[in-house]
Amino acid sequence: MKSKGMRLVVRSLFTVTTILLIVMILSSVPVTSGPSEVWTCYLEPQDSSGTCGTPINVAVKVGITSGTYPAGVCSYQDDIYYDQSCVTITNVDQSMSPFMLNDWHLYGNYVRISSMNGLTEIPIGVSTIAELTLECNSSGTCGLTHNNYEANNEDGDQVTQEWINGSCTCSTPCAAATAVYMTSLPAEVRNPDEILNPLRALRDDYLEDTCVASYYDYSNELAVVIAKDPALAQEAVQLLVQYSPLVKHEVYGIGADTRITAEDKGDIMAFISDLRMSVLKNREVKGAERTQEIVNYVDEFKEQVEVLEGKTFSEALQGSIYFKNEQLPCQDIVDNVTQNTRVRTNTAYIYRDLYLLPFWVKPFI
């Protein structure tokens, strides 16, 4: 009897030991499972960086783990928000997108990108759905944040999804942007980019590369000078607002060109004098040699302004030392449009108020 009991105890211990060994073996084997999200959207690089005057390229990428209904993705929408005082998204390229229909809109402090592929799912894998072009406005770090997003199947139902935010760090400020963002703009200017984007287009398509390089060589120091002098910043903004319609006429072909009067010339000369004085006041920061370089740059601009009177803005630009002989033709833009509601499809630029329509309708407009 005692021998039988001992056998039962030994058998039980053996069984328990075997079970424990099996559990230990299984726990040491890595468990592989598929991603929990069908759609994962992220930025590459996730944390970008740049300097004033140098475009920053950021790819919007997606990883897709299902290519069949009902989990497959046929359309998406994403609003990417940013702090305009730090950085601005100036362009979106969707030519590499795997979706058939793509569009994008700029709305001040965010850009909306969206695409659809009819009833066909996007294949499994990693794809680039857009390339963003960013421009620094001031020094600092700001977030690039996804908002109001959705990734949908062919029924319009949302699939499981993840949206990973990023950031952008700007190491140097820009003079013009510094003035615009530290000053109260007139009521008719709803968005700082209404002033800055035409200037960027003028820079890219109409100004000599050496002129642009000189500006950005001194832009950091000029931005510091402007930031220390609110009155000077206000002067700069008044001139930027005043001449913005003429810049738009030159680069976009909208509005009318007008002649520069003696009063106009006097206002510009007064600003140049105040800027020159402020630069000299800050000579201890950058040293005498660097300060003199900046003063010479300002004086060169003064020489160009002295001959402006009686000329149209276009005549003055084309007669200056800054003008690029080969520039792109004026963009074909409708005049009576709402600012910052640009829609770019794969085939054309369309300007109209589309923000009240569902995103999936817009590619067919």
Residues 131 and 187 in one domain: no
Residues 148 and 205 in one domain: no
* 151 three-state secondary structure: strand
Determine, yes or no, domain membership for 323: no
Determine, yes or no, domain membership for 294: yes
Last residue of a domain, one of 170, 200, 227: 170
Check residue 151 and give its pLDDT. Answer: 96
Determine, yes or no, domain membership for 275: yes
Following DSSP, what letter does each residue of 54-81 receive, concatenated? S-EEEEEEEEE---STTT---EEEEEEE
Do 174 and 138 touch, CB atoms closer than 8 A?
A: yes
CA distance 86 to 195: 16
pLDDT per residue over 133-148, tens digit each? 999 999 999 999 999 9
Determine, yes or no, domain membership for 341: no
Residues 24 and 43 in one domain: no
Mode of pairing for the β-strands spanning 161-163 and 39-44:
parallel
Of the pLDDT bands very low, low, confident and very high (cuts 50, 70, 90), residue 272 is: very high
Check residue 286 and give its pLDDT. Answer: 81
Check residue 37 and give its pLDDT. Answer: 81
- State what percent of residues in the chain have pLDDT above 70: 79
Of the pLDDT bands very low, low, confident and very high (cuts 50, 70, 90), residue 19 is: low
Check residue 343 and give its pLDDT. Answer: 36
Last residue of a domain, one of 145, 170, 195: 170
Residues 55 and 75 in one domain: yes
Q: Give the E-state strand segments of 184-268 in sequence order.
A: none
How far is the CA of 161 from the CAs of 24, 36, 206, in angstroms?
35, 8, 44
Total number of domains constituting the chain: 3
Residues 77 and 199 in one domain: no
Residues 51 and 95 in one domain: yes
Check residue 190 and give its pLDDT. Answer: 86
Q: Cis omega (within 30 of 0) on the bond before 173?
A: no
Of the pLDDT bands very low, low, confident and very high (cuts 50, 70, 90), residue 17 is: low
Mean pLDDT of the chain: 84
Residues 61 and 44 in one domain: yes
Residues 150 and 163 in one domain: yes
Residues 140 and 181 in one domain: no
Distance from the first to the final alpha carbon of the chain: 92
Average the pLDDT over each of 99-103, 185-189, 205-209, 352-356 and give the range with the smallest value: 352-356
pTM for the full predicted model: 0.74
Last residue of a domain, one of 170, 198, 224: 170
Residue among 75, 29, 151, 94 nearest 345 (CA)? 94
Determine, yes or no, domain membership for 81: yes
pLDDT per residue over 320-359, tens digit each? 999 997 544 433 333 333 333 333 333 223 332 333 344 4
Residues 193 and 302 in one domain: yes
Domain that holds residue 19: 1-30
Determine, yes or no, domain membership for 197: yes
Question: Residue with structure tokens 């000599």?
Answer: 208
Residues 312 and 204 in one domain: yes
CA distance 166 to 349: 28
Determine, yes or no, domain membership for 361: no
111 or 336: which leads in pLDDT: 111
Determine, yes or no, domain membership for 224: yes
Residues 228 and 139 in one domain: no
Q: Give the E-state strand segments of 117-242 in sequence order.
A: 125-136, 140-152, 161-163, 166-170
User: CA-CA-CA-CA torsion for 161, 163, 164, 170, nearest 10 degrees?
Assistant: 170
CA distance 130 to 193: 21
Of the pLDDT bands very low, low, confident and very high (cuts 50, 70, 90), residue 215 is: very high
CATH number of the domain where residue 106 is located: 2.60.40.680
